[in-house]
Structure 1
Amino acid sequence: MATKSYPDASPSKKRTAATAVPARRDLIAAQDHVTPAATCTAHLSPQDLVVTAAEPEFARQFGLSADEICGRGLLELLRSRTPGHLREQFAALSSGPSRRFKQKVTGRDGDGRSFHADITAIAVRHPSGEMAGVVVLLRRTAEAVTGGPVLSALDAQVLEGVANGESTVQLASRLYLSRQGIEYRVGQMLRRFDAPNRPALVARAHALGMFAAGQWPPRVLPECVR
């Protein structure tokens, strides 16, 4: 006996259902494409990049609970090696045709220790193209955090000046210290870095990844300053 088939929805209903959750479907597809097992997720508001929801594992990376991390700005939690670059990437995601970007970042855990991670930021848009939100996928990496000493803010300024080629007199004038004070701090850093002279001190700091990439005058990375 022939049987009748009853389609579960008319073409018009299917079209309505298909357009109801395009952003959600795009997000699921994006996560399936880029999410390894160790990746954790947070949702951000598109205007100010504040965390609106996060998996507990994402929050634990920063020593916080899922409730505590909500309301925190992502740019307070993570930074790129080039200052301002992460903010520029998010701005381009919001205003341009790009749907995602990947970036290496640094954060701090609950004990104040720095860690490296890769993030993928995905724009979630309404059918009209307007931004509905941003999803961030974070994966900790095994890349070693800088092995250089953690410097005081003043020592970091002295090191930046030395890397910029400033003399003792110039540093003393700019930082309102005596020449003896500058020499003392430089001498302390020479011993800490096991460097025989100022050029070697700068070279060691560069080799340890303590300077922000592509910055002039040189800037010591925030995670290297206590």
Structure 2
Amino acid sequence: MANLDLEFRILEANQSFARRFGWSPVPGTDRNFCEFLHPSVQGKLRNELIRLADGQSPRFADHMVAVGARDSVFVGEVTGIAVRTGAGRVDRILVLVDPDESAGDPQIVSARRKLFSPMHARILEGVAAGESTVQLATKLFLSRGGVEYHVSSLLRKMKVTNRPALISKSYSMGVFAVGQWPPRVRSEFIAE
């Protein structure tokens, strides 16, 4: 459990929260709660927190993927509650985190790990959008064999056997932002 200000900075937290996220109350080092969320859910949960801070909603409960201490990734439930003053204005936000201990180690990659070259990212986006090998070759100025070479490389890298499994695993790892079309590989996963 943690108390957040209206800009989602952690004001205080209980020992369980602090231990799970490796957070300590050091003066002058404000940590935003959204920093602890995996990129795949960061935007959605930030919007929920904004609705609480603006007084549009009294509470929310949602699925969460978070990056804890030592970059460990875990799943669970998060509940946000708007705490109001006596005058009815939202003063702070209470966040309850309930990790799913039965989930085991999720197959999610921390955004700090660069998985793809820019070319691999563009090919992965094309495959996710349903483009054929010929369409990708034309779009990326490659031969059909060049596209197949890169697709095979991606299959090996992601340890899957076909294109649908490649895309499915990419979504499950948070490589693509949920709810975005056409699919785009998140910049955090692309090597410069």
TM over 0.5: yes
Give 2:93's match in structure 1, choosing from 123, 134, 145: 134
Which residue of 1 is the match for residue 179 of structure 2? 214
Farther off after superposition, 152-161 or 112-121: 152-161
Look at both structures and tell me which one has the larger radius of gyration over its CA atoms: 1
Instruction: Report whether the alignment pairs 1:42 with 2:2.
Output: yes
Give 1:85's match in structure 2, choosing from 36, 44, 52: 44
Which residue of 1 is the match for residue 150 of structure 2? 185
Alpha carbons 1:80, 1:103 under 8 Å: kept: no
Change (3 A) 1:164 1:170: farther
Q: CA deviation at 1:135?
A: 0.9
Alpha carbons 2:62, 2:77 under 8 Å: kept: yes
Q: CA deviation at 1:206?
A: 5.1
Q: Matched residue of 2:126: which SS? A: helix
Instruction: Report whether the alignment pairs 1:158 with 2:118.
Output: no
Q: CA deviation at 1:116?
A: 0.8
RMSD: 3.4
Q: Matched residue of 1:61: which SS? A: helix
Q: Which runs of 5+ in 2 are unaligned?
A: none
TM-score normalised by the chain length of structure 1:
0.63
State the alpha-carbon separation in 1 of the partners of residues 160 and 16 from structure 2.
39
Farther off after superposition, 118-127 or 163-172: 163-172
Which residue of 1 is the match for residue 160 of structure 2? 194
Q: CA deviation at 1:165?
A: 2.8
Q: Which amino acid letter does the alignment assign opposite residue 5 of structure 2?
A: S
Give 1:172's match in structure 2, choosing from 118, 140, 156: 140
Q: Which runs of 5+ in 1 are unaligned?
A: 1-40
State the alpha-carbon separation in 2 of the partners of residues 212 and 138 from structure 1.
22
The CA deviation string for residues 146-189 of structure 1, in whole angstroms up to 9 with x for no partner, is 5377761434443222111343335635xxxx657654332112
TM-score normalised by the chain length of structure 2:
0.72
Q: CA deviation at 1:136?
A: 0.7
Q: Of the two structures, which has the highest relative contact order with CA contacts closer than 8 Å and spacing of 6 or more?
A: 2
Q: How does 1:93-108 map to 2 (within 5 A)?
A: 93-108=52-67
Change (3 A) 1:44 1:164: same
Change (3 A) 1:129 1:84: same
Instruction: Report whether the alignment pairs 1:123 with 2:82.
Output: yes
Which residue of 1 is the match for residue 17 of structure 2? 58
State the alpha-carbon separation in 1 of the partners of residues 104 and 185 from structure 2.
17
